[in-house]
Structure 1
Amino acid sequence: MAKSEPRSNAFQARAIALLWRSLAGRRLSTLWRLARLIGPLVERLSRRERHITRANLVEVYPSRSPSECSQLVRQSLTHSAATMLELGFAWMGDPERVESSILEVHGRELLDDARAERRGVIVLAPHFGNWEVLNFWLSGHFPFTAMYEPPKLAPLDPIIRQGRERRGGNLVPTNPRGVAALLKALKRSEAVGILPDQEPDWGSGVFAPFFGRLAYTATLLPKLVARTQARVVTGVALRLPGRGYAIHFLAADARVYDPDETTSASGVNASVESAIALDPAQYQWEYKRYRKTPEEAEGHPDFKRFRIY
């Protein structure tokens, strides 16, 4: 049994890598047509994805009618399917093709001005649109470092790593050594990327509002800002279905610079909300953002560390 599992993992990894390579050269219009076929199938056949997406959308958009919510569920799952289909394009596609697919870049001056002032830039990159295309662009235009957690299928690790680093980006582990690398990059006035919408481990976050409901939010950002005086922006690669992408950099909510971790986390969540407002269907709503609760924290031995806004 112990030997068959690695073989199974290797087979799955080869099959996934082959799929990525086969899709890498396809037109974005073709990938979008495929996504429009797959999205409704996921909605119909995957109870988990459908349930989590709908539950999140009902929570954050309570004023929307049931029919509007159903339409947004389908649109969201279609965009998520498109992101999966576009991974090969972002990681293995011809670099000139990927660069030319980025049709618009808005807010670049936020990064350029920070570097001119010899300040580092922290890019909050939520799971919106195609964040791998955002990584591609950042790595090709700025010295860029991002945290990276290896995939569960270990044989895919070198493939993903090569795809994310092929434009010069630097990946660091999600541990204290990685945090130290981010600090060094910021002190060199470089750009670093942080995923602001993943639930951290207990003890590494605080509860702060996200669309009006408390969500357990990482506190890495205020620590980095306090030690580097970096500028914070939100970055997304908005999908222009079948045509390409529009990259948007948005000034972060002013609260992200507050030394109080809970206030800063509230600013992070507000910044993510502003990015989602560009097109709510392009956010990855199938992630359980509200999994950890204040009630669960009360029973945790480290409860005193979990501050609530």
Structure 2
Amino acid sequence: MAAGHGFGILGRCPINRDGFMTLTERLQTRTIATLWRLCGSCSTRTLWRLAGVLAPLYTLLARRERRVTRVNLRRAYPELADADNRHLSRQSLRHSVAMILELGFSWYAEPPRVAGAIHRVHGRELLDEARAEGRGVIVLGPHFGNWELLNFWLAEHFPITAMYEPPKMSALGPLIRQGRQRNGATLVPTTSRGVASLLRALRRGEVVGILPDQVPDWGSGVFADFFGHPAYTVTLLSGLVSRTQARVVTGFTRRLPDGSGFELHFLPVDERVYDPDEATSAAGVNACVEAAIALDPAQYQWEYKRWRKTPGQQHDEPGWRERKLYSRRHR
């Protein structure tokens, strides 16, 4: 899959104006890398328990993530009582902490241990049938559960190409690329050259990973309903399908209770994703994400500002309504 949304405090480490990391930033990067390696030696159950210990501290310190999570849950589930919203927010933030810790497991644990943590795979026939027809397969992988394990499993079983955007903490880039590519995945840049690589892979009948729930740059998306509210949604999928006749499935990894492991799910997509109209296709994409979330809403990464762009927003005024929707009064 392409690079994720970033992980709260972890994703916001600054780089100075000259593009160089300060001593403090280097220490932060080395500390994170060391922690990931240590997590690679732990079991998934241990990491889940550790997430339970750290989550209250994360919830207290990561005020932005706490606020955005609650606002997004209120938009998606307006029928929830405030107490239920806060409970689901805490659960979601614990899953986010678990995901941060599990990066080390996904990228540094021995491959047989990682593969062994995936206990069940539901819907694999959707991929096999498409490839048996000689078609490429596009996997829509929302930020649900542990999406890095989805990338690991796909690379273990199929030739896969996915886009990669360097992280804000640039020194972590080589570690992330190594972790994502160690099982054979091919990473390409989020540029026209990367899109051309995706097209070639699909025409060879291979698998391509797409993030369906990331807010694209202006000009690369359209507005489509997501939980009843317009969300700026990427249109890359529509172009890839129309030019390659690829099949599309939704794929995600669900964390099992008590951190005992994971199960993979591949679901048929909403048929609108195949529509040549970009807005109709984008509505189908968002419906696919909603169907994945419905399996376990707490495992979705609600701390991402999915609705930060709005219809009527001026392109030269980024965030003008975001400041209102995600303001500090929404707690």
> Shared fold (TM-score greater than 0.5)?
yes
Q: TM-score range by the shorter chain?
A: over 0.9
User: In the aligned structure 2, how far is the partner of 1:297 from the partner of 1:205?
Assistant: 15
Given the alignment, which residue of 90, 96, 114 partners 1:98? 114
Looking at structure 2, the residues matched to 135 and 236 of structure 1 have their Cα atoms a distance apart, in angstroms, of 9
Q: 1:55-84 CA distances to partner (integer Å, 9 max, x unpaired)?
A: 000100011111111110000000000000
Aligned counterparts of 1:74 and 1:136: Cα–Cα separation in 2: 28
Residue 111 of structure 1: which of 127, 130, 136 is its match?
A: 127
Matches for 1:208-247 after TM superposition, within 5 Å: 208-240=224-256, 241-247=258-264
2:97 counterpart (48, 73, 81) = 81
**Segment of structure 1 superposing worse, 290-299 or 148-157:** 290-299
> TM-score normalised to the size of structure 2?
0.88
180-189 or 65-74, which moves further after superposition? 65-74
User: Is the CA contact 1:38–1:81 (under 8 Å) kept in the aligned structure 2?
Assistant: yes
Deviations 1:93-144 (A, max 9, x none): 1100000000000000000000000000000001000000110000000000
Q: Does the Cα contact within 8 Å between 2:167 and 2:173 map onto a contact in 1?
A: yes
Alignment partners' CA distance in 2, 1:269 and 1:64 = 21
Q: How does 1:189-208 map to 2 (within 5 A)?
A: 189-208=205-224
Query: Taking every aligned residue pair, what percent have the same amino acid on both sides?
Result: 62
Gaps of 5+ in 2: 1-15, 318-331
Tell me the residue number matched to 2:58: 42
Give RMSD over aligned pairs.
Answer: 1.5
Q: 1:130 maps to which residue?
A: 146
Distance in 2 (CA, whole Å) between partners of 1:158 and 1:4 is: 16
Structure 1 residue 297: deviation in Å? Answer: 4.3
Alignment of 1:1-309 (within 5 A): 2=18, 5-240=21-256, 241-297=258-314
Q: Is the 1:9–1:155 Cα contact (8 Å) retained in structure 2?
A: no
TM-score by length of 1: 0.94
**Cα offset, 1:7, TM superposition:** 3.9
> Shift of the alpha carbon at 1:11?
2.5
Runs of 4+ deviating beyond 4 Å:
1-4, 297-300
Structure 1 gap segments, 5+ residues each: 301-309
One-letter code aligned to 1:162: Q
Question: Conserved in 2, the CA contact under 8 Å of 1:118 and 1:189?
Answer: yes
Cα distance in structure 2, aligned partners of 1:141 and 1:110: 14
Question: What SS class does the counterpart of residue 296 from structure 1 fall into?
Answer: coil
Q: 1:298 to 1:147 in 2, by over 3 A?
A: closer
Q: Secondary structure at the match of 1:26?
A: coil
- CA–CA distance in 2 between the matches of 1:106 and 1:169? 21
SS in 2 for 1:119: coil
Seen in structure 2, the aligned counterparts of structure 1 residues 4 and 137 have a Cα distance that, compared at 3 Å, is closer
Instruction: Give CA-to-partner distance per residue, 1:220-254, whole Å, 9 cap, x none.
Output: 00000000000111100000132110000011110
Contact in 1 for aligned 2:218/2:315 (Cα 8 Å): no
Equivalent pairs counted in the alignment come to 300
SS at match of 1:147: strand
- Shift in Å, 1:40: 2.1
The amino acid that maps onto 2:170 is A
- Residue type at the aligned position of 1:229: Q
- In the alignment, the residues of structure 2 paired with residue 4 and residue 164 of structure 1 have an alpha-carbon distance, to the nearest angstrom, of 25
Q: 1:53 to 1:3 in 2, by over 3 A?
A: closer
